[in-house]
Amino acid sequence: MQRAALELFLANGYDATPTAAVARAAGVSEMTLFRHFASKEALLLDDPYDPQIAEAVAGRPAEERPMRAVVEGIRAAWRDVDPDDAAHLRTRLRIVAEAATLRGALERNSEATVAALTDALITRGVAASAARVAATAVIAGLSTALLDWARSDRDDLGAVLGRALDTLGGG
């Protein structure tokens, strides 16, 4: 179904594609579609952003302040990413960037990642409130950087991401 959805979203745009059309294209009923995906958004954004990021954060030097620990953890975790995935990611982000109703969809969708990061920080001894703040902020900043990258096809993803992380870390 995701494949059918992507094709339709690319061809007609996200907002102009009713879930009924996706269901029909995938050869299932609308009900079944919603049994597999919690929402229309999930058709685009369903892939679990690695909880392995959390490990990388937990393993950072103890003296690092929360923002920097998260930033450097993500930077480290990023090195194991398949370039094929990046290309796929880009087409999906393009769809997100062009759909008015998807503002904030990335952030909403990465609640799991935020939770994992928050826990990782807490086990490092960071206060719960500060942990949540730092995790949310970094993910939000990262999301906008990814969207910018998807819109302009100039830079390669690694460089864009690196600069965003520099900014977030206070650089």
The structure tokens listed for 161 are: 């991401």
The reply to whether 18 sits near DNA by the rule CB under 7 A is yes
Is 123 one of the binding residues for a copy of itself (CB under 8 A)? no
Q: Which of 66, 72, 99, 116 binds a copy of itself (CB under 8 A)?
A: 66
Q: What single DSSP character describes residue 80?
A: T
Least distance in angstroms from the C-beta of 11 to a copy of itself: 27
Among 130, 150, 156, 158, binds a copy of itself (CB under 8 A): 130
The C-alpha R_g of the chain, in whole angstroms, comes to: 17
Q: Which does 143 bind (CB under 5 to 8 A by kind): a copy of itself, DNA, none?
A: a copy of itself
Buried b (16+ CB within 10 A) or exposed e, 67-83: bbbbbbbbbebbeeeee
Beta carbons of 71 and 169 less than 8 angstroms apart: yes
The answer to whether the beta carbons of residues 94 and 158 sit under 8 Å apart is no
**Residue 111 binds what, of DNA, a copy of itself, none (CB under 5 to 8 Å, by partner type)?**
a copy of itself
Q: Which stretch binds DNA (CB under 7 A): 34-42, 51-59, 142-150, 161-169?
A: 34-42
103 near DNA, rule: CB under 7 A: no
Give counts: helices (H), strands (E), the chain.
11, 0
Indicate whether 20 belongs to the interface with DNA (CB under 7 A).
yes
Interacting residue ranges for DNA, rule: CB under 7 A: 17-20, 27-32, 34-36, 38-41
